[in-house]
Amino acid sequence: MTNPHGSKTLNARFVADAGRRAALEAEAQRLPSLVVGSGAASNAVMLGSGYFNPLSGFMNLAEATSVAEKMALPSGVAWPVPVVNLVPRDKVTPEIRKAKRIALRDPNVAGNPVLAVMDVAAIEDVSPEQLSFLIERTFRTTDPKHPGVADFTAAGNVLISGPIEVLNFSYFPAEFPDTFRTAGQIREEITKRGWKKVVAFQTRNPMHRAHEELCKMAMEATGADGLVIHMVLGRLKPGDIPAGVRDASIRKMAELYFKPGSVMIAGYGFDMMYAGPREAVLHSIIRQNAGCSYLIVGRDHAGVGTYYGPFDAQSIFDELPPGALEIEIFKADHTAWSKKVGRVVMMRDHPDHKPEDYINLSGTKVRELLAAGQPLPPEFARPEVAAILMKHYQEEAKK
């Protein structure tokens, strides 16, 4: 099992001691409070879960700038994206500006309960030029049509930094009780199963036949004992399939088409950034903190639209200094069913193939077929998985 990133032990910011947590909850009712944005709330959940080890809280402007510029914290520890609590200037009241501690409230739960208590280390106004620098370096674009750029831009222009103590994991345990897991819980399960080498597969989508076979290829190539299918449970862009539907389809696939006991299905509470290469590095750190040995990084990993080259999310790892990460990357090509050889293959292994030699449907075509109640080719999707997706799209079509 890999060590946590940047430390020997996991620095999860969730307050596990019930007595301490109750005292903090009582204190929070007396503190100035701030309803944070969804991105900051998901960052708090990730800090609480141990996935953002070794961070202890939200970055200040110097730290965020260092990360954006060098892909490293001022200490030299590799880190690819700013983890910040940006808020609109009009929400930073005089009371908050004078406070040494504040309560961070959850924007995604009714009543905005307290999510974390924060020691305020600094409150800094961020200029348009500074914000643009953070965005351009993180996303490689400042195009407001990019969903991650849009969210980061809308978050605000005041940065409140400092360590936090997390009191709960927002809505994730209640909505996904069988799936939401912290980094520590995954580590415990890996140990319980006796796995030594573990492959992680990141997904924000249902898994089609090509994804299934890619995971099996990676396990065979690395000699892994097990596979962690680790899905994003937080906010996605419009049009992405809801987490509950993805969860059900992935569980059905694992149940029927993988060796019993070889797959762990888990999820984490993060809002996708769609930051392509930089987010691929973040995904690797998340999985290293969960104890995984390898992360599959495929074509256009964590990308959106045409903002990134198909393999930018792989080549970025070559920019990191040796030893920056303990986890290893399994670099995958696009996979699809080959009509010539009668199985799923990586396209780079078959240079003799033409596009028409593959069964490879666009996302638009898949949605059209499912909404119309038409089956997907069995070479593209397992029928049991397709049935779950078809039900979802047909219900959506009726709305």
What is the model's pLDDT at position 118?
A: 98
Whole-angstrom Cα distance, residue 324 to residue 215?
Answer: 25
Is residue 25 within 8 Å of residue 105, measured between CB atoms? no
Q: Residue 239: is its pLDDT beyond 90?
A: no
Whole-angstrom Cα distance, residue 154 to residue 37?
Answer: 9
Q: Residue 22: is its pLDDT beyond 90?
A: yes
Per the annotation, the verdict on 43 as an active-site residue is no
Band of residue 371 on the pLDDT scale cut at 50, 70, 90 = confident
Q: What is the residue-averaged pLDDT of the chain? A: 95
Is residue 187 within 8 Å of residue 291, measured between CB atoms? yes
The residues near 303 (Cβ < 8 Å, ≥ 6 apart) are: 274, 276, 312, 313
CATH homologous superfamily, domain 175-398: HUPs (3.40.50.620)
CA 376 to chain centre: 28
Whole-angstrom Cα distance, residue 14 to residue 110?
Answer: 21
Name the active-site residue from 13, 105, 204, 246: 204
Q: Residue 238: is its pLDDT beyond 80?
A: no
Is residue 277 within 8 Å of residue 317, measured between CB atoms? no
Name the active-site residue from 157, 205, 251, 367: 205
Band of residue 393 on the pLDDT scale cut at 50, 70, 90 = confident
Mean pLDDT of 23-49: 98
Closest listed residue to residue 231, CA positions, set 254, 260, 257, 261: 254
Q: Where are the domains of the chain?
A: 18-173, 175-398
What is the model's pLDDT at position 342?
A: 96
Mean pLDDT of 278-299: 97
| pTM of structure | 0.95
> What 8-state DSSP symbol labels residue 229?
E
What is the model's pLDDT at position 205?
A: 85
The 3-state secondary structure of 337-375, one letter per residue: EECCCCEEEEHHHCCCCCHHHEECCCHHHHHHHHHCCCC
Per the annotation, the verdict on 287 as an active-site residue is no
Angle, nearest 10°, between helix axes 243-257 and 383-398? 160
**Four-CA torsion 159, 163, 169, 172, nearest 10 degrees:** 40
Band of residue 368 on the pLDDT scale cut at 50, 70, 90 = confident
For 179-217, how does the pLDDT look when each residue is reduced to its tens digit (9 = 90+)? 999 999 999 999 999 999 999 999 988 899 999 999 999
What is the model's pLDDT at position 63?
A: 98
Whole-angstrom Cα distance, residue 47 to residue 26?
Answer: 21
What is the model's pLDDT at position 196?
A: 97
3-state secondary structure at position 226:
strand
CATH number of 18-173: 3.10.400.10
Mean pLDDT of 386-393: 92
Q: Residue 395: is its pLDDT beyond 90?
A: no
